[in-house]
Structure 1
Amino acid sequence: MAQLSLERPKIKAYSALVIGIFCIGLSAIFVKFANLPGAVSGLYRVFIAAIVLVPWWLTKRTALPNIQNIALISLGGLFFALDLWLWNSSLLITTAAKSTLLANNAPLWVGLGAMVIFHERLAQKFWFGLAISIIGMLVILGIDTLRELSINIGDLMAVAASFFYAAYLLITQRARNSVDTLTFNFIYMSAAVMILLPINLAGGYQIFGFSERTWLALVGLGLVSQLGGWLAINFALGHLSAARVSVSLLGQAVVTALLGIPLLGEILTFNQIVGGILVLGGIYLVYQKK
């Protein structure tokens, strides 16, 4: 009985992780269905999640962190907002599978940033994994594309989004140690809203008057992908090692690619399949224990 009681939290954690990966894997599908400018879909993704968190956070009566942590988390929200803006925009130009695979290089840039900023020593496996992932990116883009230098702007946006997401992870990783999960999520999502709203206003984007289909996609993006997905993943992080979870999250690219076939009518090319395997395999090597 004791053994069974010890295993139950792990079973719940693995179940939550699977649910979380599935939820964030739906992000690209919802963005495609919404068919709105990247800044608009990004705004509603964090806004809907944030307004749901407000009453929850207030009932917890949790004290705000110090000014330094608020500023740090808010800066993370800035980079998260830019990540959403670029990645969502790329999804309207290139395929969901291709965009998600290219954007999943963020863990590699996190590793490089940790070495440069935090002076962490990286094992040879890191450099080997980095090389494999870069080769995978080139395979996804295709030989003809590279020869003609006709890289899709959507591809570049997806890669740029991975840089901003990596910056978000690097800047906020230390704040997480002293700030509870609910408060952390509330602050960075609120900051992202305050960044994306003026971007939308400055761009003259329409932020109201959408069709029912679009509103449903936006609600799904905010409640399922942003709120539900990350709450489930954060629950898993309370019972499983961060290294194991971070590697598992790479499965979102697989979820997006597979769901994109029946839901979006996308067809995976041979280059995308091989390149995707190389990218994910390289990132997996990077996060193997030394």
Structure 2
Amino acid sequence: MQQPRSLQAPAAGRYAFAAVVAGNVFLAAGPWMVRAADVGPVAAGFWRLALAVPFLALLAFWQSRGRGAPSWPLVALIALAGLFFALDLAAWHEGIVRTKLANATLFGNMSSFIFALYGFIVARSLPRPAQGAALLIAAIGAALLMGSSYELSPTHFAGDLLALLAAFFYALYLIVVDRARRTMAPMPVLAIATAAGAMPILALALVMGEQVMPTDWTPVLLLALGSQVIGQGLVVYAVGHLSPVVVGIGLLTQPVAAALIGWMVYDETFSAADAAGAVLIAASLILIRLPARLASNRDAAH
């Protein structure tokens, strides 16, 4: 019987948990760059992918040396993940400009719980007490973090729906990546998915009549390097070593970091409820990793 990835202790996955947290901190800066870019929100998603492809291709080539080429069915599956990711970016970026940032962040991060649910379905098991407690604490923390600024309004309904749709597509993307990472290294997976998603999201931007060519390349270049190469690179690496439950809760690092960026950059309010939510999410991250830590300590003692 294969040991769950969350309890494996190989050196290759030693930094996986730190990677998923750090990756989501980089991803949290994405909306900042989308706002700063002088192109449409969907077009910004295109440049995030297109400008990242050359860097990811080089990393994928370096990581694939001495390994056989992936099968065409696997490449097609990863390309499907790229399509899901393109749809996620298009819905998410469009949702950001149609609703409040707090609403978009709250609904957009529902992918955390969808991906965790997928993990329990694949494992054909119910949450263990520590996992259930961590998920409950994370949900309360997310609600507190966004509750003070969340606003349910018919005006924001389209944006809220787009953000929720983005969460669904991002969860599908992560599910396919989870399957691909069982046999492939992270950079080839991310390079194929990124390249596959670039053209569909460009087509969407053109159909929507958005401005595509930027006059200032700095925001879109930072978006590509920070969010796609570094942020997604760290997350995809972590997916190969951690269970979907751990990765799902790790994704909630992103709204915490986004709230802090909003406070520091845009002078947005960071209330006591926001701080309490951030603390609860941090506690859920500690709790979800506790069984793996204890198992690792027991192995070291023997």
Q: TM-score range by the shorter chain?
A: 0.7 to 0.9
Give the superposition deviation at 1:247: 3.4
8 Å CA contact 1:136–1:277 kept in 2: the answer is no
Does 1:122 find its partner at 2:122? no
Equivalent residues of 2:112, 2:252 under 8 A apart: no
1:196 aligns with 2:201: yes
The question of 1:44 aligning with 2:50 is answered no
Structure 2 distance, partners of 1:174, 1:282, is 25
CA contact (8 A) 2:252 2:281 kept: no
Pair 92,9 (structure 1): closer, same or farther in 2 beyond 3 Å: same
Q: For residue 252 of structure 2, what is the aligned residue in structure 1?
A: 250
1:211 matches 2:215: yes
Once the two structures are TM-superposed, the CA of residue 43 in structure 1 deviates from its matched residue by 0.8
Cα deviation for residue 164 of structure 1 reads 1.0
Within 5 Å, which residues of 2 pair with 1:166-245? 166-208=171-213, 210-212=214-216, 215-233=217-235, 241-242=242-243
Alpha-carbon distance change, 174 to 9 in structure 1, aligned in 2, over 3 angstroms: closer
Return 85-94 or 132-141, whichever deviates more.
Answer: 132-141
Instruction: Give CA-to-partner distance per residue, 1:43-74, whole Å, 9 cap, x none.
Output: 11111111222234345555431122112111
Asked if the contact 1:87/1:158 (under 8 Å) is kept, the reply is yes
Deviation at 1:87, TM superposition (A): 1.1
Structure 2 counterpart of 1:133, one-letter code: A
Residues paired across the two proteins, number:
278
- What's the offset of the Cα at 1:273? 6.3
Partner of 2:139: 133
Evaluate the alpha carbon distance shift between residue 139 and residue 155 of structure 1 in structure 2; reply closer, same or farther with a 3 A threshold. Answer: farther
Q: Identity percentage over the alignment?
A: 28
Confirm or deny: 8 A CA contact 2:23 2:230 kept in the other structure.
yes
Structure 2 residue corresponding to 1:84, chosen from 78, 86, 89: 89
Q: Given the superposition, is the C-alpha separation of residues 250 and 100 from structure 1 closer, same or farther in structure 2, using an over 3 Å criterion? A: same
Q: TM-score, normalised by structure 1?
A: 0.75
Contact 1:108/1:286 (8 A) holds in 2: no
Paired with 2:20 and 2:137, the residues of 1 have a C-alpha distance of 28
SS in 2 for 1:266: coil
2:58 is matched with 55
- Separation in structure 2 between the aligned mates of residue 269 and residue 161 of structure 1, nearest angstrom: 27
The answer to which of 276-285 and 26-35 deviates more is: 276-285
Structure 1: unaligned runs, 5 residues or longer: 1-7
- Whether the aligned pair in 2 keeps the contact of 1:77 and 1:188 (CA below 8 Å) is yes
> In the alignment, which of 65, 70, 73 is matched to residue 65 of structure 1?
70
Superposed CA deviations along residues 204-229 of structure 1, whole A, max 9, x for unmatched, are 32211x232xx211101101121022
**Matched residue type, 1:57:** A
Task: Say whether the 8 Å CA contact 1:87–1:157 is kept in structure 2.
Answer: yes
Structure 1 pair 204/63, CA: closer, same or farther in 2 (3 Å)? Answer: farther
Q: Tell me, what secondary structure is at the counterpart of 2:115?
A: helix
Q: How does 1:14-33 map to 2 (within 5 A)?
A: 19-33=22-36
RMSD between superposed Cα atoms in Å = 4.0
CA–CA separation in structure 2 for the residues paired with 1:90 and 1:216? 23
Q: What is the CA-CA distance between 1:150 and the residue it aligns to?
A: 5.3
Q: Is the 8 A contact 2:137 2:280 kept in 1?
A: no
- Deviation, 1:190, is 0.9
Give the corresponding residue for 2:8. Answer: none
C-alpha distance in structure 1 between counterparts of 2:234 and 2:175, whole Å: 21
1:261 corresponds in structure 2 to 263
Q: Does 1:161 align with 2:166?
A: yes
Instruction: Give TM-score, length-normalised by structure 2.
Output: 0.73
SS, match of residue 173 in structure 1: helix
SS of the residue corresponding to residue 265 of structure 1 reads coil
Structure 2 gaps of 5+ residues are: 1-10, 293-302
**CA separation of 1:139 and 1:251: change in aligned 2, threshold 3 A:** closer
